[in-house]
Structures are given as C-alpha cells and as structure tokens.
Structure 1
Amino acid sequence: MSQIASERPSRLPRAERREQILAAATTAFARTGFAGTGLDEIASQAGVTRVILYRHFDSKTELYQAALDRFCAVLGDHVSKPVGGFTDTSIDGLLSAAAAEPDGFRLLFVHAAREPEFEALAQRFRSNITRTAHLQISKVISDRAWARWAAQLAPTVAIEAIVAWLDVGQPDPDLAPDRVRHVIAGVIAAASAAAEHADSLPPTA
C-alpha cells in the first residue's frame, strides 16, 4: 500500500498550480485568441481537470486578465521605471522580458488590443510608453507635431521589431538590442529631418 501511495503524483502547492495554469493559458491565448480558446483546452494543456481550473479562476475572462497581470509582473521585473524617457535600458528590458516570456509579450502587445474586453488595458499600456518616449524625444526634436509623431511611432516600431525577432527564433540575442535601437534611431532621424525642413520654410502670411 505504501509503495502504491509513493507512486501517486504529489499535489502541487496552490501557488505552483496557479502558475502552471497561467503559463498554459498564456500560451493558448497567444495562439488562438480569447474567443478561440476554450477552458477545456487550457486545462488539458496545464495537465489539470476543469474542476481544478475553476478552483483557481471563476471564468475565462478572469483567467485572461490574470495572464496579462502575470506578464506585466514579468515586465516590471525587467524594465525599471523610466528616468528621462524611452532609454537604451528600456529596450534591453523589453527584449529580456520578451525572451523570458514570448507568449506573454505577444499576449500583451499584440493580442490584447484586438480583444474588446481588454483593448482599454492594452491602449493604456501603449499610451504610457508613448508618454515615456515623448519625455526623451521632445528634448531633441523641437517641432511639437513631429516630436509627438516620433513618440507614438518609436515604441510601436520597437515592439513590432521585438515581435518579429521572436517570430524568427530570437537570433543573435546579444546584438538584438542594438538592432532595435537602430530602428528607433531611424524614426527619430526622420522626425528630426522633417522638423528641420519645417523650420526652414518661410512663415505663411
């Protein structure tokens, strides 16, 4: 009897079981979206029953939100609070978080914005990044309109570059931050050139 008991899988602590379910949910949601993902699929991927899943989460909406919160915590561990703008350190942190949790990165920055129930959260996150970028860009681009343009575009380009980097298998991870920074530098250079051109035009009557 004792031998049979010893062969039974041990029950995971509640926190570990919750993490197991969230990891499976993040992968499933990033693959097939909110509407296309069923709780039975998540439970199966996590290796638990639906009853166990419901002991941790009351609904699919709660589970999706928890998956987003989980990745936001990962992001917070890698990206320190910005000081002075969208810095090189910000890029390093975004890439580190993406490498640590590729599905979580896609879930927050790609998929959540497409889900009506979570669009506001994704937009708020994007707005915060844009404001952060503007802190830095407005110091080097005098034209307000072009500074706003660059501040909106630079984070979008950075995120798309990181997603593309994940999609092709995360090549040359040591060089990836510089590649992303080069892309952002192109945006800032284009905005700076446009601002200089605008400054050179004669004033309108």
Structure 2
Amino acid sequence: MTRTEERPGGRRLLPRDERRAQLIRAAATAFARQGFAATGLEDVAREAGVTRAIIYRHFASKTVLYQAVLDDTQERLRARLGPPDRYDEGTVRALVEAACDDPDGFRMLFRHAQREPEFAAHAEERSRAAARTAERHLRDVLPDPGHRRWVAGLIPALTIELVLSWLDAGRPVGEDDLVRTIRATSRALARRG
C-alpha cells in the first residue's frame, strides 16, 4: 500500500515506512520526557495515537524502539554534520540546526542515553569519538598532549551542554547568539595557557 487509507473510527492506515517514522518521532517525545526506564510502550502509543499492538508490528520491544530512535537521531546528525574529518566553522551551526529540527531526539541521544545502563556504552563511545575529532583539530593549536587531550574532551561536552541548556530554557537567545557563544567558549578553551 502506498497511500494513506481512512479506517473506521477515523484512524488512518499509513504505509509501513511512514508509520515507523511516526512511531520513532512519538517515542522520541515520550522517552525525552521521562527517560527509558520510566516510559512504557503505553506512553509511546498514547503519544502516537495508536495501540501497543501497532508498535509491536514495527518494533520487537521497548529496547529495540529506543535504539531505533537513537539510530534515527544519529543518522540525522551525520547527514547534517557530515564526516568528522570535514568538521569546520559551519559544524557548530549545523549541530544547533539539528537540535532545533529534533529537540527530543537530541535530548535522548545526548542526555538520556548516557544515563541508561543499556545504552551508556554507546553514549560513552560517542563522547570518545567527539574528543578524538576535537583533538585532531587542536593538534596545531595546543602542542602539549595532556593539555590538548583535556581541552579536546571539554569542547564537545560543553558544546552539547550549551545546546541542551539552551533548548531546556526555551531558546532564550537566537541560534546565531548560541553559535557565537559556543565558538567563543571553544576558542577560549583552545588558547595556550
């Protein structure tokens, strides 16, 4: 079936890929609100306006659904940011735009997943990869390896925290102001002692 059909009772029968995408978006919202452990599939079903049976047609378990949301968010970020070896001045803006496009997925990926035992290893690897990328970019700026490693861990962590706190505060300044703040913070950290 390639089109949406109306079912009795006003429910719509969506094509499989559209339904899956809808469930992922609804799950991101539900999980971002309360985290993995406190969110049941009933919460996701209510958010999506479907039954739990519909969710089980697409996802074998809550864990599989949570991972699908994380994978979807990571894929969106990769598409927006490009490969790490091509990060440049535009990367910060792309990150902020990605957070604006999918704030619930962003919160899940960068806040909730690291607190969930089943997903913490993935979050830790993501942090290590971000620090390695930052360290490569800082090689010419900070010659001392210890100082460089410390700053390389701080810049991605502070960048994510700045974006999260901005989202949580209701975006109190414009995107341009946030990008300038992140860049200024990164430049200050990258100055030689």
Whether these two folds match at TM > 0.5 is yes
1:46 to 45, 48, 51: 48
Structure 2: give runs of 5+ residues left out of the alignment. Answer: 1-5
1:160 is aligned to 161
Q: CA deviation digits over 1:163-195, x for unaligned, max 9?
A: 111112222113321111111112112xx11xx
C-alpha separation between the residues in 2 aligned to 1:7 and 1:119? 42
- Structure 1 segments of 4+ aligned residues over 3 angstroms from their partners: 4-10
Q: CA deviation digits over 1:68-96, x for unaligned, max 9?
A: 01101110121011336x53222122111
Q: Which has the larger radius of gyration?
A: 1
Q: Aligned pair in 2 of structure 1 residues 34, 8: CA closer, same or farther (>3 Å)?
A: closer
C-alpha separation between the residues in 1 aligned to 2:7 and 2:27? 30
C-alpha separation between the residues in 2 aligned to 1:159 and 1:10? 38
C-alpha separation between the residues in 2 aligned to 1:6 and 1:124? 47
1:140 is aligned to 141
- Specify the SS of the correspondent of 1:174: helix
Q: Aligned pair in 2 of structure 1 residues 35, 148: CA closer, same or farther (>3 Å)?
A: same
Letter in 1 for 2:52: R
Q: Kindly report which structure 2 residues correspond to 1:8-157, keeping only aligned pairs within 5 A, or say none.
A: 8-83=10-85, 87-157=88-158
Aligned length: 187
Letter in 1 for 2:62: K
Q: What is the TM-score with the length of structure 2 in the denominator?
A: 0.91
- Specify the SS of the correspondent of 1:136: helix
C-alpha separation between the residues in 2 aligned to 1:149 and 1:101? 30
What is the aligned-residue RMSD (CA, Å)? 1.8
Q: Aligned pair in 2 of structure 1 residues 58, 179: CA closer, same or farther (>3 Å)?
A: same
Answer whether contact 1:82 1:90 (CA < 8 A) is retained. Answer: no
C-alpha separation between the residues in 2 aligned to 1:8 and 1:160? 42
- Specify the SS of the correspondent of 1:33: helix
Letter in 1 for 2:24: L
C-alpha separation between the residues in 1 aligned to 2:112 and 2:7? 44
C-alpha separation between the residues in 1 aligned to 2:32 and 2:14? 25
1:200 is aligned to none
Answer whether contact 2:7 2:13 (CA < 8 A) is retained. Answer: no
Structure 1: give runs of 5+ residues left out of the alignment. Answer: 194-205
* Identity of matched residues, %: 42
Q: Kindly report which structure 2 residues correspond to 1:179-190, keeping only aligned pairs within 5 A, or say none.
A: 179-189=181-191
Q: What is the TM-score with the length of structure 1 in the denominator?
A: 0.86
Q: CA deviation digits over 1:30-84, x for unaligned, max 9?
A: 1111110001111011000111110001100000000101101110121011336
- Specify the SS of the correspondent of 1:87: coil
**Residue 176 in structure 1 maps to residue 183 in structure 2:** no
